[in-house]
């Protein structure tokens, strides 16, 4: 539904990005600050002008339209609620600007207040609301005119952790109830993983990977995506044998690992493979192919992170669940074996 492609100024804030966002989708732009995701969002809203390229909405170009001519609404990072208006006036503003009568607006405002669970707060001045409540008003205000697309610019970043978590669920619910396409911008990978139907990971103005949360976590397209989403171990090695989508990689420390490999990658030479910490297993068996020394153990409640160093000096982290059956993480200084089950490692693009 949305087909975006643009380049921005001398500084390439957004560098030839092409995205396809489906109707009724919860789509997230994820990346570190300065990666161009907010610029991209502002171009969709109409606050920035693309240097070149097109933005299509329902196959119609909207590049020449002013923000007030686009059926797209935004939830701003600082909410941007009108401080001189009440909650209801804020929510009804868009409809009023569209020329709807007061009689038409009132029931919609009521419905919106119900939707964001602020019944009865309509007459309160927005300045008297808490951060979480302001957030809800901003949402209701942007949803009230029933836009085709709702843009959310890091709307949860000003909230504290508890509130943020409950708002994440709330947003997901609102998206499902309204059926509006949500385009969500965040730098928080956890937020992106829990809410999105699909995620676009961005860095330095480019989109590196687009896919579902699972795709991106389990099959990162490159080193940046792998490192940005969750904790990851990178291991250096060389391909010994490549057969279809599986490659046998000999690590520098000597062990052979079977790793998944995407099509189109070179089938010989030096590569990096990536393994998630929770997929590695520590074996008491010191004769395993992969040997490591325990350096630190950090206790996290549900699990413990064991920091190890391989024989060739590269660091590895293993996440172990803390169970009550007596299994304990190894002692610091202990020599342990590591095993990498088939199919959990993946060969990375450079």
Partner 1 sequence: MADVAVVRSPDIKKQSGFAFIAASCVAVLYLPMLVVIAYSFNSANNLAAKWHGFTTSWYNVVLANGEFYDSAILSVIVAVAATLISTVLATAAALGTTRGRPWRGQGSAYLTITTPLVVPEIVTGISLLSFFAFLSTVTGIDLGIWKLILAHSAFCIPFAYLPIRARLEGMDTTLDNAAADLYATPWKTFRYVTLPLLVPGISSGAALAFIVSFDDFTITQLIAGPGETTLPLYIWGRIRRTLTPELNAMCTLLLLISLAFIVLSFVLSHRRRA
Partner 2 sequence: MAEIKDMQRLDDARRRLLTLPAVLFILAFAALPLLVVLAYSFMKPATYGGVEWQLSADAYVGFLFQKDIFDDSLTFSSEYLLIFARTFLFGIATTVVCLLIGFPTAYYMATRPPQTRNWWVLLITIPFWSNLLVRTIAVMFIIRDEGLINTVLLSLGVVDQPVTMIFTDFAILLGLFYSFLPFMILPVYASLEKLDFRLVEAGYDLYASRFQVLTRIIIPLTWPGIATGSLLVFIPSFGAYVTPLLLGGGRHLMIGDLIALQFGSSRNWPLGSAFSMILMAFVMLALFFQIRKNAGGVSHG
**CA 274/CA 271 separation, integer angstroms:** 10
- Interacting residue with partner 2 among 10, 59, 60, 64 (CB under 8 A): 64
Does residue 52 bind partner 2 (CB under 8 A)?
yes
Q: How far is the CB of 56 from partner 2 (least distance, A)?
A: 15
**CA 72/CA 57 separation, integer angstroms:** 10
The site partner of 11 among partner 2, partner 1, none (C-beta below 5 to 8 Å per kind) is: none
* DSSP character string of 95-153: HHHTT--HHHHHHHHHHHHHHTT-TT-TTSBGGGS-HHHHHHHHHHHHHTT--SEEEEE
Confirm if 274 and 234 have CB atoms less than 8 A apart.
Answer: yes
Confirm if 209 and 31 have CB atoms less than 8 A apart.
Answer: no
- Interacting residue with partner 1 among 74, 134, 233, 346 (CB under 8 A): 74
The site partner of 234 among partner 1, partner 2, none (C-beta below 5 to 8 Å per kind) is: none
Does residue 63 bind partner 2 (CB under 8 A)?
yes
Complex with partner 1: residue 142 or 210, whichever CB lies closer: 142
The site partner of 33 among partner 1, partner 2, none (C-beta below 5 to 8 Å per kind) is: none
**CA 14/CA 202 separation, integer angstroms:** 9
- In 3D space, the residue among 249, 256, 199, 197 whose CA is nearest the CA of residue 225 turns out to be 199
Complex with partner 1: residue 74 or 181, whichever CB lies closer: 74
Q: How far is the CB of 66 from partner 2 (least distance, A)?
A: 8
Site for partner 1 in 78-137 (CB under 8 A): 78, 80-84, 93-94, 97-98, 125, 127
- Interacting residue with partner 2 among 25, 36, 37, 50 (CB under 8 A): 50
Q: How far is the CB of 191 from partner 1 (least distance, A)?
A: 21
* DSSP character string of 301-337: SSEEEEEEEETTS-EEEEEEE--SSS--PPPTT-EEE
Does residue 11 bind partner 1 (CB under 8 A)?
no
Does residue 68 bind partner 2 (CB under 8 A)?
no
Q: How far is the CB of 324 from partner 2 (least distance, A)?
A: 49
Options 69-77, 177-185, 258-266, 327-335: segment touching partner 1 (CB under 8 A): 69-77
3-state secondary structure of 223: helix
**CA 57/CA 273 separation, integer angstroms:** 39
Residues 6+ apart with CB under 8 A from 137: 79, 81, 87, 90, 91, 116, 118, 126, 129
| Length of the chain, in residues | 350
The site partner of 76 among partner 1, partner 2, none (C-beta below 5 to 8 Å per kind) is: partner 1
Residues that bind partner 1 in the complex, under the rule CB under 8 A? 45-47, 66-69, 72-74, 76, 78, 80-84, 93-94, 97-98, 125, 127, 141-142, 145
Residues that bind partner 2 in the complex, under the rule CB under 8 A? 49-52, 63-64, 66
């Amino acid at each position: 539904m949305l087909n975006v492609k643009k380049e921005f100024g001398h500084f390439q804030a957004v560098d030839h990005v092409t995205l396809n966002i489906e109707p009724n989708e919860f789509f997230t732009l994820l990346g570190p600050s300065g990666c161009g995701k907010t610029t991209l969002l502002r171009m969709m809203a109409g606050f920035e002008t693309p240097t070149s390229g097109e933005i299509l909405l329902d196959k119609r170009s909207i590049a020449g339209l002013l923000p007030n001519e686009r059926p797209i609404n935004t939830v701003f990072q600082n909410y941007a609620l009108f401080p001189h208006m009440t909650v209801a006036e804020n929510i009804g503003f868009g409809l009023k600007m569209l020329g709807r009568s007061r009689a038409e607006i009132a029931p919609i405002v009521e419905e919106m207040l119900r939707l964001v669970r602020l019944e009865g707060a309509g007459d309160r001045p927005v300045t008297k609301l808490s951060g979480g409540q302001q957030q809800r008003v901003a949402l209701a205000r942007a949803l009230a005119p029933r836009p085709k697309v709702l843009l959310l610019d890091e709307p949860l970043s000003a909230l504290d952790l508890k509130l943020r978590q409950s708002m994440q669920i709330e947003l997901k619910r609102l998206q499902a109830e309204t059926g509006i396409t949500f385009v969500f911008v965040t730098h928080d990978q956890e937020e992106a993983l829990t809410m999105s139907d699909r995620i676009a990971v961005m860095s330095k103005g480019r989109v590196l990977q687009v896919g579902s949360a699972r795709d991106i976590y389990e099959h990162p397209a490159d080193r940046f995506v792998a490192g940005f989403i969750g904790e990851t171990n990178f291991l250096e090695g060389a391909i010994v044998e490549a057969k279809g989508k599986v490659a046998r990689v000999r690590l520098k420390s000597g062990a052979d690992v079977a790793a998944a490999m995407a099509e189109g990658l070179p089938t010989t030479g030096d590569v990096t493979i990536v393994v998630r910490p929770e997929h590695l297993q520590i074996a008491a068996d010191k004769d395993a192919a992969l040997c490591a020394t325990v350096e630190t153990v950090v206790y996290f409640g549900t699990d413990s992170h064991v920091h190890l160093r391989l024989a060739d000096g590269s660091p590895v982290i293993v996440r172990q669940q803390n169970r009550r059956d007596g299994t304990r993480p190894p002692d610091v200084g202990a020599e342990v074996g590591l095993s990498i089950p088939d199919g959990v490692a993946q060969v990375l693009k450079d």
